[in-house]
Amino acid sequence: MSTIDTNNNVWANLGMTREADEKKPSEEVGQEQFLKLMLAQMQNQDPMKPMENGDFLTQIAQFSASKGIADMSESISSLTQSLASNQALQASSLIGRVVLAPSDTGFLEPGQGMGGSVELPSSTLDMNVSIYDQSGAVLKTIPMGQQTAGDVYFAWDGTDEAGNTMPPGLYQVEANANINGQTQTMQTLVASRVESVSVGKGGQGVLLNLAGLGSMDFNNVREIM
């Protein structure tokens, strides 16, 4: 009984030789090429040892899964780029606006005051906000009195306790509240003006460039004022 050269016949039916194919650069097998290979394999299989239906189904399933994953990856990549572009477009409308974001540092602009809010987890009988210079000295303490839970807004006019106007620059902000008889430091959100918007590299997303503070992730913004 003659031996059936399955491999050579498969390549012959595809219009190429095995030797020629081995010299070609490796390329991804597309759906059309895969189906041709499957058909040629069926036509040239050993009639004494035919391939089981399960084997065919396994090969088809493997190919479909591989192609599906590749298509899904491409779709996700395209969607990610689209969302990033859309987010950048939306963020560009914030230029010149003031945003609130978690920070313990604010920038006092020339001729302006500085403000923000305090995240108060529960009611307090006494709360205050203190402003510090870069050396750590207290410039002014703003009494906020009794407050209920929620966001409590504060404003600093840019002067110290003696009424002297402070120069533009960075200042530290600290909020303390008496809760259940204990003084606790609260999370502060500082208001900052958006000067420009940029798209970050390496998956960083959209960055807001804030006056005097540098860049901040757009996702950190809690409120647009």
CATH code of the domain containing 142: 2.60.40.4070
pLDDT-derived band at 206, boundaries 50, 70, 90: confident
Are both 28 and 87 inside the same structural domain? yes
pLDDT above 50: residue 20: no
**pLDDT computed for residue 225 by the predictor:** 85
Domain final residue pick, 91, 123, 152: 91
Domain span including residue 76:
6-91
Domain boundary among 67, 91, 115: 91
pLDDT the model gives residue 26 = 47
Least confident of 13-17, 105-109, 135-139: 13-17
Q: Is residue 56 part of a domain?
A: yes
Domain count for the chain: 2
Whether residue 118 sits in one domain with residue 215: yes
At residue 92, the pLDDT reads: 76
Predicted TM-score (pTM) of the model is 0.61
Asked if 87 and 103 sit in the same domain, the reply is no
Q: How far apart are CA 159 and CA 10, in angstroms?
A: 87
Do 129 and 86 fall within a single domain?
Answer: no
Query: Do 28 and 103 fall within a single domain?
Result: no
